[in-house]
Structure 1
Amino acid sequence: MAYAYLFKYIIIGDTGVGKSCLLLQFTDKRFRPMHDLTIGVEFGARMISIEGKQVKLRIWDTAGQESFRSITRSYYRGAAGALLVYDSTRRETFNHLARWLDDVRQQAYPNMSIVLIGNKCDLTHRRAVSTEEGAQFAKEHGLIFLETSARTAYNVEEAFMNTAREIYKKVQVGAFDVSNESNGIKVGYDGGNTGAQTTAKRRVGDAKKPSSCC
């Protein structure tokens, strides 16, 4: 199917926070209660619409185990956005967020859009991290924040869509060099309409003029 843009982004966070379940819920609209641990990196894809433009999302689901961190890091630079996920029933996964965030900000493209996700919010009887704590962490680090439930699908659509909209806004203002696909964005053809591609190329050209901002 034709698309105006392809956005690549990653899902990161500790093992067992529900990264694969979030991706499955978003791409297939289903929940798998028992899920094998991700080995290395897996990915899913889905087509969405933003402001009338078809946008293809290619989402890398990364392993949370320490032994795979070097593999995970290699995918940071090729992504335009990230979902940073913790498990709201396990405080240690929240405590590790700063380390994940440092990692991604050191390795990734500076304009990457990052959304903080507090998953498993449906398990209220087991909650270990309050909504306020998650919101405060996001505020302190300049992140978008949402609580989700991969089991009930609560806010799952919004999590992925908010990331995509944030990336799209940055594309429109020229914050990404869309001529360089290593930044996680590819310009395509929207049903034969090359307007998006032409506009993107024009912005890249403008960005190279001496008078433009870096």
Structure 2
Amino acid sequence: MKRFTISIFIILILGISLFPNLVSAQPNEMPEWVSQVIQHWSNGNIDDVEFFYAMNFLANNNIITKDSFKNQLVKIQKTSDVEDTLVHSSYRVFVDSFPKDSELDHSIIDDAVLFWKKNNVNFILVDDQHMANAKIFWIKEMDGPNDGYVIKGDRIEIGLGTSIDGKWHGYDKKSITFLVKHELGHFLGCPHSADPQNIMYPKYNEYTKYDHLPVC
């Protein structure tokens, strides 16, 4: 992974340095050196996560546009779903393994990622927490009054249960899915909402759909 990280950013730096007149984005045009980067990615020579991160960097700095990126994907016959890298704000997320005695599964994360994608946020899962913008960790029981926290801006802790009369009770899958969606919202800077159907509502109700998207 590190090999890809170093190589693609060397290419970006060299491209911007050697071709300063070609870094201003045009609606349907793309610098040739960027096209070559995309071709290398298409051939499997560049890791997906680092490629998406680099393309967002270029778009945010007005070096390429969404239209030129889309046109280039058409040329190399890549599927349109990868256009999301520029349509959505992208963040890399590391998710710790569930406890061995847990019956929970990765569909919790899949549901949360899909939910936020509807709100124009693209969470890309990575295996290396050092590459992640956000890190999710599972805590058997939280010490404080809340079941989820965002700590120091990038560490997300999700409580998996609580003790009642000295006996620990695990939360169900739906509850934890809500917590993950909710805390990812706090990671993005979303405040609590007074709307009971908004995912940023501070209290969970198992009968609520939470289909109202927040404004962050």
Q: Which has the larger radius of gyration?
A: 2
TM-score (norm 2): 0.33
Query: Higher strand fraction: Structure 1 or Structure 2?
Result: 1
Higher relative contact order (CA 8 A, sep 6+): 1
